[in-house]
Amino acid sequence: MPPILDLPPIQLPEAMVRDLRRMNPWWQDGQAPPLPATRRHLVGQIHRRLDMRLAPAVVVRGPRQIGKTTAQLHVIEDLLKRGVPPRHIFRVQTDQLSAVEELGEPILRLADWYEETVLGETLNAVARRGEPTYLVFDEIQNLDNWAPQLKSLVDHSKTRALITGSSALRIEQGRDSLAGRITTIEAGVLSLTEIAAFRGVDLGQPFLADNGFGILAKQVFWEELREHGKTVNMARDQAFRWFSEGGGYPLAQINGRRQKLTSLDPEDLARDPDLSAFAQDRAERVLDATLSTISGLDVSRFPLRATRAEMDRVLTIGTRRIPRLSPRTFVIPLCPAEDRSSAGTSPRRPTTPALHPGFPQLPQP
């Protein structure tokens, strides 16, 4: 019987195919690339989420340079050691794949190419044999409309997906359409136990297990934590000194670098014009990135800064007072365009949306 849909095979540019082959070296020799011996606790967290199968996709989000990509590769290394066939793992580093947006729907088209060219069968055919497949996308927020594509992929193909992204706002914007299909891990900077491990000191595993925060409400947890602290106090204090000197990023702890601190105190800024310009630039970038996500907000109505006091105010807002809210709740309308509180009264004049305390208020129309 002829196939129902006789479609031509997916053709990718030769340069892209070579990039994909380089991103998946286990297709050739069955092994992951050489990796650091010290691992983040994040690796274990990812494995637990994948094994629990709470959702078809595990999303890891956190800032750049905290070890998300390395953790991703550590997970792949473990899967290969467990016996997962090398060609059952497909990894795409989107920020290093040229012309990927030209594919139209790159996540879906790359999955098509992977099935046809590398796997030799559909993801569902592999799943019917009881064998797993893993699709790994790094820095996925670089792709437009990534969330609807991922939704379509996991809805119609039986596979497990591991996603990482460094833009919390962009990842947050895609979560609504992926409800029930993803479980999210928030990846932060190194913990004290990780810093100790990077420096060759055994501080043990984190005392707070990766199973929620309910235990924090129990007195016994704090009593046991106190006793645990007494047994590791010297190593813990040393790890904290390393954190104070180098910060929580892996690169600094591996190389033993001391971090360069930037003061945002208004008096320090006033004494150092270069520092003031640097801090102002960073604050403006934070504000621009945050405000650009608010639908319908006319930023041009914000008053221009003209004085040092105003600049200091914006610096404070940009570095300490931006709330951790979703774009939908960042601007709160005070009332609808027309509001009659009682019969016979005239409509109230529309009011300008209220911004979070600390932001310059918009002028009234």
User: How do the pLDDT tens digits run along the chain, 365 residues long?
Assistant: 455 556 777 788 888 999 999 999 999 988 889 998 889 999 999 999 999 888 888 989 888 888 899 999 999 999 999 999 999 999 999 888 878 878 888 899 999 999 999 999 999 999 999 999 999 999 887 788 888 888 888 889 999 999 988 765 556 665 666 767 878 888 888 889 999 998 888 888 888 877 677 888 889 989 998 998 889 999 999 998 888 888 888 887 877 666 555 555 666 666 666 656 666 666 666 666 666 666 666 555 555 544 444 444 444 443 333 333 344 333 333 333 334 344 444 444 433 344 444 444 434 44
Assess whether 132 and 209 both reside in one domain: no
pLDDT of residue 141: 79
Assess whether 72 and 35 both reside in one domain: yes
Assess whether 52 and 154 both reside in one domain: yes
Q: Is residue 166 part of a domain?
A: yes
What are the DSSP E strand ranges found in the chain? 57-61, 89-93, 134-138, 160-165, 182-186
Q: Is residue 347 part of a domain?
A: no
- Print the domain residue range for 39: 14-188
DSSP 29-68: HS-PPP--SS--HHHHHHHHHHHHTSSSEEEEE--TTSSH
Assess whether 22 and 114 both reside in one domain: yes
| CATH code, domain with 143 | 3.40.50.300
Cα distance between residue 185 and residue 182, in whole Å: 10
Domain boundary among the residues 151, 172, 188 is at 188
Cα distance between residue 119 and residue 158, in whole Å: 14
pLDDT of residue 160: 93
pLDDT of residue 52: 87
pLDDT of residue 279: 63
Assess whether 237 and 274 both reside in one domain: no
Assess whether 183 and 197 both reside in one domain: no
pLDDT of residue 65: 85
Taking CA atoms, 351 is separated from 214, 222, 343, 345, 347, in Å, by 42, 49, 20, 17, 12
pLDDT of residue 354: 41
pLDDT of residue 117: 92
Q: Is residue 42 part of a domain?
A: yes
Assess whether 116 and 171 both reside in one domain: yes
Cα distance between residue 90 and residue 110, in whole Å: 10
Assess whether 204 and 324 both reside in one domain: no
Q: Is residue 343 part of a domain?
A: no
pLDDT of residue 325: 38
Domain boundary among the residues 140, 169, 188 is at 188
Q: Is residue 107 part of a domain?
A: yes
User: Is residue 146 within 8 Å of residue 135, measured between CB atoms?
Assistant: no
pLDDT of residue 210: 74
User: Is residue 196 within 8 Å of residue 235, measured between CB atoms?
Assistant: yes
Q: Token pair for residue 236?
A: 């813990």
Assess whether 214 and 305 both reside in one domain: no
Assess whether 32 and 179 both reside in one domain: yes
Given CA atoms 112, 116, 118, 120 in this order, what sign does their dihedral have?
A: positive
Q: Is residue 346 part of a domain?
A: no
Q: Which long-range contacts (CB under 8 A, 24 or more apart) does 224-229 make?
A: none
Q: Is residue 260 part of a domain?
A: no
Cα distance between residue 276 and residue 265, in whole Å: 10
Total structural domains within the chain: 3
Assess whether 183 and 201 both reside in one domain: no
Q: Token pair for residue 175?
A: 């979560």
Q: Is residue 336 part of a domain?
A: no
Domain boundary among the residues 162, 188, 214 is at 188
Assess whether 212 and 297 both reside in one domain: no
Question: CB-based contacts of 187: which residues, under 8 Å, 6+ apart?
Answer: 42, 60, 61, 62, 66, 67, 68, 71
